[in-house]
Amino acid sequence: MKLKYIAISDIGPFRGRHEFDFSGSEGKTGFAIFSKNGRGKTSLFNAMQWCLFGVVYERGSVRGGKWAEGKARVVVGDYSKDKPLMNQDAYQEDKIPEMGVFIIANDGDKDVQISRSAKSRVGSMPRHDEGLSFQLQVTVGKKSASEKLGQELIEEMFPNELRRFFFIDGESLEEYVDLVKAGQVGGIKDDVEAVLRIPALTRGIFDLEKVMDEVWSEVDSETKTMRKKIKSANEAGDILKDIKNMKEELRGKESSYNKTNSKFERLEEELKGLEESASHIQNLEKLRLKKEGLETTLKRSSDSKKSYASNAWKALLWSKAGVLHDEANSLMGEIQNRDYKISSTEKRLRKMEEELSSWSGVCSHCEQPIDDAEKHKRGIEGKIADTEEALSVLRGGSDMSLNEASSKLGDLAKLSPPNGTRKMIADSNRNWAEDKASLDNVREELEKEEGRGLEGVDSEELYKKFELRGTMRTSLVRMRPSIDELQQEIRRSEIEYKKLGGEEVKSRDPKKAKLKETIGILLNVMKDTLAEYRDDARKEVEKIASESFVNIINAPEALRGIIIDKNFNGSIKGADGKAITMPSSGQEMTMTLCIMDALRRASEVSAPIFFDTPGRSLDDDHKKAQLKYFWSLQKHQFVIFPHTGEYMIEETLQEYGGLIGAAWELTWAADLKECMSCGTGDPLKTGSKMRCIPCGYEWDISSKQTTVRVLEV
Amino acid sequence: MSGVPAGLKKIFLKLGKDKGLNEDLLVDVLDHFVKNQYLSQGDRTHVKNELRRILEKHEV
């Protein structure tokens, strides 16, 4: 990518729009933007980064042996501490603050336009970047895109990962020198690998492995499907065998059925017209069967009748014995009652007799003399006499003992028939009579039917034929469901067979197997390439860096180039081919620049190089050699942002005029040594103003807004 | 994006061809990887899908 034109608006000290035209350089690749401190060199440097990548980082540093970017800069915020990118006056004065960068360039034969802006969405003085609307519009050749896709278009030309090799900050470079020098673990390994496209291999291996997993999974699934198909085919084979067997069995059954059926039909034919005989025979058969049944029933009711009749005498006798039994039962109750009364009366009598025999006239309970004792004694004696008389009456009743009464009752109970005997005898008699009558009726009917006879018909033979017809019909009826069931089973099996897809098994997809094989080979090729190329890449960077270094240092007898060891640490190669032990800081700085240049060249990314404060830490010889070398590069534009103390403007333009395409100076009004109106030198400073004595033009010198002055090359 | 480093391309093609892979396939695959080398692993689904498409295109 080559710059043709840049315009910036309201960024850093640049208030309003300022333009830088790179188009008239006529093939020259050197550009310089000079200024004193604070005039906007770094702001312009940052504006370019912001336009290309949408973010500007604070100065990076080496952490843990690796380079780390600083934190991202804000566009708007607190101007006393955050160092926002937007011009402070624009932020504070404009109703809708906005900053922007516009670039016109070309990439090979394609025209490139990039426009990025940040504009307030919330009116004046938005407090944070969240209050801004960011817009990006990119056109490359015929392609045009905005926002994320626009960023992708930019990064196809200018990868963000490589920006550090194109935006070089002289101040950070000193830290980078430490990183390059021996002693820092890993050193610039990540940078070398990034520039030489090693991520293409490492991330490519990752992608290939993912595709491999995907294909494996598909092949595996295919294998499972195939296994399933084979299993299905086996099952289908078994089902097919079953179907064949069932069909065979069905044929046998149908044949048998058909034979029976045709015999049955013939028999039916034969028996047609013999329906009357058939009716007679059927009646005979029916009556005979009925007779057999009734005979059995009668036998059963006869047995039952006999059984109940065995208890008939008890039923008859009980009409008398039952009364005696009840009387005996009642008598037994009376005897039991009498015996109890005698026993209790005897007990009472004994107690009174004892009381009388031990009479003392004193109460047996309270041991006090009883009043009227004699009268009381006579009372007892009277009671004893009454009791003895009552006892005598009780003893004078029936002389039957309880045992005798119980025995009598037991004997009478033996004559008792079972419960319901009378009813059962009656029922069994009635049943027997009914069965007998039914049998007699059937016998009479059968006798009549047998007596009918049929002329010219052998009823016995006919009967057998009808019997055979019945058997055949039964047999046919029994055979039919079995045949139907078998047919259904065959149909079910045929459906199942079709569902399993028959016995055909498709072979595995050969394309996937081939793809898997190719990926496997490709993975090995990439791993082998990575191993082989890593070392080649290191050597390549070492070779290019050495060429640049020798060119810039211009002391081939003493310093022969740069060594980058296997740990990617850099050192300067002395005359003996070994690393020199005490390089100067200028030599180390040059070595670092050369390694960065080598990395950039090896990256094959064609983009401008922006170098802020390029002469820092270099002596005059190295500074000159550096400019001469970089401005002679034909592939890259090399834009430096020197402090006017690093490179003197007049001297630089004079010495390198042939290599410089354009140069600018960034100034404040106070820096002007010539009249802005007539160009006369030595204006007179009066307070906060400068005055041109010849033409009288006055200008304010208190402003810190930058103006861009195009220098004549 | 600008070209693939010559050294990388040379080794990759040599090793690939030695293993019997087609040169067009190797060139397409390497270009694809170089073009997408800076995309992080989380954003690489479309890179993987395109890779598969390239592989299948050359296998058919």
CA dist B7 and B5 (Å) reads 6
Q: Helix count (H) and strand count (E) of chain B?
A: 3, 0
Closest chain B residue by Cα to residue A210: B48
Q: How confident is the model at residue A198 (pLDDT cuts 50, 70, 90)?
A: confident
Which residue type occupies A515?
L
* Residue whose structure tokens are 């290309």: A52
Same domain for A144 and A13: yes
Instruction: Specify the higher pLDDT residue, A644 or A492.
Output: A492
What is the pairing mode between strands A638-641 and A30-35?
parallel
Query: Cβ contact (<8 Å) for B39 and A518?
Result: no
Closest CA to A134 of A150, A147, A149, A118: A118
Instruction: Specify the higher pLDDT residue, A711 or A156.
Output: A711
Same domain for A14 and A72: yes
Domain final residue pick, A444, A479, A499: A499
Same domain for A405 and A267: no
Q: What is the tally of structural domains in chain A?
A: 5
- Token duo for residue A554: 């211009």
DSSP structure class, residue A57: B
Mean pLDDT for A192-209 is 83
DSSP structure class, residue A129: G
Cα Rg, chain B, nearest whole Å = 12
Closest chain A residue by Cα to residue B58: A515
Instruction: Specify the higher pLDDT residue, A83 or A64.
Output: A83
- Token duo for residue A485: 């069931």
Q: How confident is the model at residue A453 (pLDDT cuts 50, 70, 90)?
A: low
What CATH code is carried by the domain that includes residue A649? 3.40.50.300
Same domain for A111 and A73: yes
ipTM of the complex: 0.94
Confirm whether A187 is domain-assigned.
no
Closest chain B residue by Cα to residue A528: B15
- Give yes or no for residue A183 having a pLDDT over 50: no
Confirm whether A195 is domain-assigned.
no
Q: How confident is the model at residue A605 (pLDDT cuts 50, 70, 90)?
A: confident
Q: How confident is the model at residue A454 (pLDDT cuts 50, 70, 90)?
A: low
- Give yes or no for residue A435 having a pLDDT over 90: yes
Percentage of the residues of chain A whose pLDDT score is greater than 90: 34
pLDDT at A456: 62
Give the Å distances, CA to CA, from A188 to A69, A130, A159, A575: 14, 36, 18, 25
What is the pairing mode between strands A689-691 and A638-641?
unpaired
- List the domain range (segments joined by +) for residue A289: 278-311+420-456
Same domain for A38 and A86: yes
Degrees, nearest 5: CA angle A592-A597-A599: 95
| 3-class SS of residue A681 | strand
Same domain for A494 and A463: yes
Degrees, nearest 5: CA angle A604-A606-A610: 120
Same domain for A483 and A400: no
Mean pLDDT for A575-602 is 85
Query: A598 and A548 in contact (C-beta within 8 Å)?
Result: yes
Mean pLDDT for A670-699 is 85
CA dist A389 and A348 (Å) reads 13
Query: Cβ contact (<8 Å) for A204 and B39?
Result: no
Per-residue pLDDT reduced to its tens digit, A317-363: 888 888 988 888 898 888 888 889 999 999 999 998 988 888 788 87
- Give yes or no for residue A245 having a pLDDT over 50: yes
Instruction: Specify the higher pLDDT residue, A199 or A643.
Output: A643
Confirm whether A199 is domain-assigned.
no
Q: How confident is the model at residue B1 (pLDDT cuts 50, 70, 90)?
A: very low
Query: Cβ contact (<8 Å) for A536 and B19?
Result: no
What CATH code is carried by the domain that includes residue A700? 2.20.25
Same domain for A76 and A6: yes
Confirm whether A523 is domain-assigned.
no
Query: Cβ contact (<8 Å) for B59 and A514?
Result: yes
Phi/psi-derived region of residue A38, left when phi > 0, alpha when psi is between -120 and 50, beta in every other case? left
Query: A432 and A301 in contact (C-beta within 8 Å)?
Result: yes
How far does A597 lie from chain B, in Å, by closest CA? 15
Same domain for A12 and A157: yes
Residue-range domain boundaries for chain B = 6-59
Average pLDDT, chain A: 86
Phi/psi-derived region of residue A26, left when phi > 0, alpha when psi is between -120 and 50, beta in every other case? left
Which residue type occupies A468?
L
Q: How confident is the model at residue B8 (pLDDT cuts 50, 70, 90)?
A: confident
- Give yes or no for residue B54 having a pLDDT over 50: yes
Instruction: Specify the higher pLDDT residue, A541 or A117.
Output: A117
Query: B54 and B29 in contact (C-beta within 8 Å)?
Result: yes
* Residue whose structure tokens are 């960024």: A11
CA dist B57 and A290 (Å) reads 94
Confirm whether A586 is domain-assigned.
no
Query: Cβ contact (<8 Å) for A203 and B37?
Result: yes
pLDDT at A669: 85
Contacts of A431 (CB under 8 A, 6+ apart): A301, A304, A305
CA dist A386 and A381 (Å) reads 9
Same domain for A298 and A426: yes
Per-residue pLDDT reduced to its tens digit, B25-50: 999 999 898 888 877 767 788 888 99
Confirm whether A77 is domain-assigned.
yes
Same domain for A355 and A373: yes
Same domain for A298 and A232: no
Q: How confident is the model at residue A677 (pLDDT cuts 50, 70, 90)?
A: confident
Instruction: Specify the higher pLDDT residue, B5 or A47.
Output: A47
Q: How confident is the model at residue A397 (pLDDT cuts 50, 70, 90)?
A: confident
The DSSP result for A325-380, as a single string, is HHHHHHHHHHHHHHHHHHHHHHHHHHHHHHHHHT--SB-TTT--BPTTHHHHHHHH
Query: Cβ contact (<8 Å) for B11 and A514?
Result: no
Closest chain B residue by Cα to residue A536: B7
Confirm whether A13 is domain-assigned.
yes
Closest chain B residue by Cα to residue A209: B48
List strand residue ranges (DSSP E) for A25-81, in order. 30-35, 61-63, 66-68
- Interface probe for B, chosen from A53, A166, A203 (most Cβ of B below 10 Å), is A203
Per-residue burial over A547-564, b = 16 or more CB atoms within 10 Å of its CB, e = otherwise:
bbbbebbeeeeebbbbbb
User: Given A157, A214, A511, which is nearest B1 (Cβ)?
Assistant: A157
Which residue type occupies B33?
F
Which residues of A lie inside 8 Å of B (Cβ-Cβ)? 155-157, 159-161, 194, 196-197, 199-201, 203-204, 206-208, 210-211, 214, 511, 514-515, 518-519, 521-522, 524-526, 528-529, 532-533, 536-537, 540, 602-606
